[in-house]
Structure 1
Amino acid sequence: MRTAAKALTAALILAALALPGWAAFVPGTEDVPLAPGLEIPAEQSVVFDQPSGRIVEATASGPAEPAAVERFYAESLPQLGWKAAGKGRWTRAEETLSLTIARQGRTTTVRFTLTPQDRP
């Protein structure tokens, strides 16, 4: 079963990389693509993998327009199994992804926070 899951993950990654604009993923993930026009500096991400799930915090920035970034994630995340859960929030399996998009001058900054879902 684990082998099948790993093979499916690898196939999804290869398929995503073949699509225009999907050249990279947020560090620590294989299921959160980096929108075109954004870059993540090497030291701008924190990744923890623990028994309750992974925690990823990363910040990307670049000249991309905020509306284009929002549109990219609204179109791409559902293809990777994420479900919209409010403005800038997505859920999948037992994880929550939050995106905060801000514009300052000519630079758009996106903060990614991936955490295990709160369990009742």
Structure 2
Amino acid sequence: MSRALFLAALVCAAPAQAQTRYFAGIPDLPLPSGFSEVDVAPVFEGQGRLVFAEAIGPGDGLAVRDFYVATLPQLGWSEGVESGAIVFQRGRERLHLFLTREGESRVRLRVQLAVRPAAMDAD
């Protein structure tokens, strides 16, 4: 067998790597494994920015919460809790995650990202 054919066979036989997917309106917010974005909502912009998104996937809310608690600090977010939501803060950005059980084995994740406007100099 030629080297080229051997290398081609090796590449084809290698297991597929799971590719990280992200929310369309929040390109640096990863989706948990097995989740798909649904109901992509409009982005509101003015003197700040407000983005809403939803995803649905398998599992329970605890696994989704654990995913974000482990992942988001690596992306510069710090965690907090507020009114039943999981909340993360990063600079002028505030991220709210709401989890709702759908049936016995699915979870709906609602996301709200609010970005405060940059401070304006009063000259």
Report if TM-score (shorter chain) is over 0.5.
yes
State which structure, 1 or 2, has the greater radius of gyration over its C-alpha atoms: 2
Q: Does 1:38 align with 2:53?
A: no
User: Structure 1 residues 94, 109: closer, same or farther in 2, change over 3 A?
Assistant: same
Q: Which residue of 2 aligns with 1:56?
A: 51
User: Structure 1 residues 83, 104: closer, same or farther in 2, change over 3 A?
Assistant: same
- CA RMSD in angstroms, aligned pairs only: 2.3
Aligned residue type for 1:69? V
Identity rate, percent: 31
* Bigger fraction of residues in helix: 1
**Aligned ranges 1:1-12 → 2 under 5 Å:** none
More off after superposition, 24-33 vs 94-103: 24-33
Q: Which residue of 2 aligns with 1:4?
A: none
State the distance in 2 between where 1:72 and 1:21 align: 15
Q: Which residue of 2 aligns with 1:96?
A: 94
Misfit runs of 4+, over 4 Å: none
Aligned residue type for 1:34? L
Q: Does 1:83 align with 2:78?
A: yes
Q: Which residue of 2 aligns with 1:110?
A: 109
More off after superposition, 20-29 vs 88-97: 20-29
State the distance in 2 between where 1:79 and 1:52 align: 28
Q: Which runs of 5+ in 1 are unaligned?
A: 1-19
Cα offset for 1:107? Answer: 1.5
State the distance in 2 between where 1:21 and 1:54 align: 31
Q: Which runs of 5+ in 2 are unaligned?
A: 1-16, 119-123
State the distance in 1 between where 2:59 and 2:19 align: 14
Task: Name the TM-score, length of structure 1 as normaliser.
Answer: 0.70
